[in-house]
Amino acid sequence: MFKVSAKHLLTGDELSRSELEGLIDYAIELKASRDNGTADRPLVGKHLAMLFEKPSLRTRMSFSIAMQELGGTTVESLSSTSKKEEPEDVARVLSGYVHAVMVRTHEQSVLERMASKSSIPVINGLSELHHPCQIMADLMTLKQTFGKLAGLKVAYIGDGNNILHSLLLMAPYIGVHLTYACPEGYEPSGFIVKKAKARARSSGGSIQAFDKPMDAVAGANAIYTDVWTSMGFESQESDRERAFEGYQVNETLYAAAAPNAVVMHCLPMIRGKEISDAMADHENSVLFRQSENRLHVQKALIVGLLNRLALASTHTNHSAGLGVSAKSASTGGRAQLA
């Protein structure tokens, strides 16, 4: 029975190396059982709530289908159809209805506040700082392609955003050598880089920043990019396009990578901007395998979290998990969840 020790998945660094590797291997098994028609339905009678403050295609589809194929159900709430409410209160309400909640939100603090009062697993479906479910799918894709993860060189080119943050925290932790090149002023969080380097030192991975994309991709087994302007930064689009000139993943850049290097993108992409048409449709492009693998890793994650919760419930009374003392209640940052 696959399970993880973490109660929530907010950043990805809650998982130990063995749990992350086990999750990827379990996801590969789940894909195989789906393909050959032998899939089990271990989550009959279980329910997943999905809260969306940001638009979604892959997150909504992959989580919905994952729960359905595992035998469970989903209920979703959109920011446009719900009242403003404190994240802590939302978490306590949902803890009485469902068995886990996935949140796609603008602010990481919303996830943290929900997790602080939730007796059920809280899953980060995307925030402005982290996108761990996507990176788990990416690691699965690399494992399928190369048969291993430790020792691979992955080069990220572009914005120092939530994708790069999650790559930094998760990929080197299982032995990947991660290089990256971002324009000046668009680098990743220094705090996250420092934390990621400390994690990498204990696991054989490495992290190195470069000023020039060509230097970052030299000899890389995979080249990864993302949109230059993420949701919420549309007002900066013209400035960003000027800053990111020279950071497109194209044939010239690809020529500096290792032979048969794969091309990666979390999607959606803007063809002709951060990635050329030729690279998006290249024979070594794995973009759409990455998106499919969201389904499989999220199945593995949900099973792992709920198996942990089931075991914990044999030792802990459910109502105790909801108890909150007045002294411990947060008083800062009153962000509200739509």
Catalytic residue ranges: 104, 131, 134, 226, 266, 294
Does residue 112 contact residue 103 with C-beta atoms inside 8 Å?
A: no
φ/ψ of 132, rounded to 5, equals: -65, -35
Q: Which residues of 273-283 are buried (b: 16+ CB within 10 A; e: fewer)?
A: bbbbeebbebe
For residue 166, give the nearest of 193, 190, 140 by alpha carbon. Answer: 193
DSSP-assigned letter for residue 337? B
Q: In 3-state terms, what secondary structure has residue 263?
A: strand
φ/ψ of 206, rounded to 5, equals: -155, 160
For residue 12, give the nearest of 145, 165, 204 by alpha carbon. Answer: 165
Does residue 159 contact residue 182 with C-beta atoms inside 8 Å?
A: yes
Beta-carbon contacts of 37 under 8 Å, excluding residues fewer than 6 positions away, are none
Beta-carbon contacts of 227 under 8 Å, excluding residues fewer than 6 positions away, are 158, 159, 268, 269, 270, 273, 274
Cα–Cα distance, 273 to 158 (Å, whole number): 11
For residue 7, give the nearest of 93, 123, 85, 91 by alpha carbon. Answer: 123
φ/ψ of 322, rounded to 5, equals: -95, -10
Cα–Cα distance, 282 to 305 (Å, whole number): 36
At which residue do the structure tokens 């230097």 appear?
215
Beta-carbon contacts of 183 under 8 Å, excluding residues fewer than 6 positions away, are 243, 244, 247
Q: Which residues of 69-81 are buried (b: 16+ CB within 10 A; e: fewer)?
A: bbebebebbebee
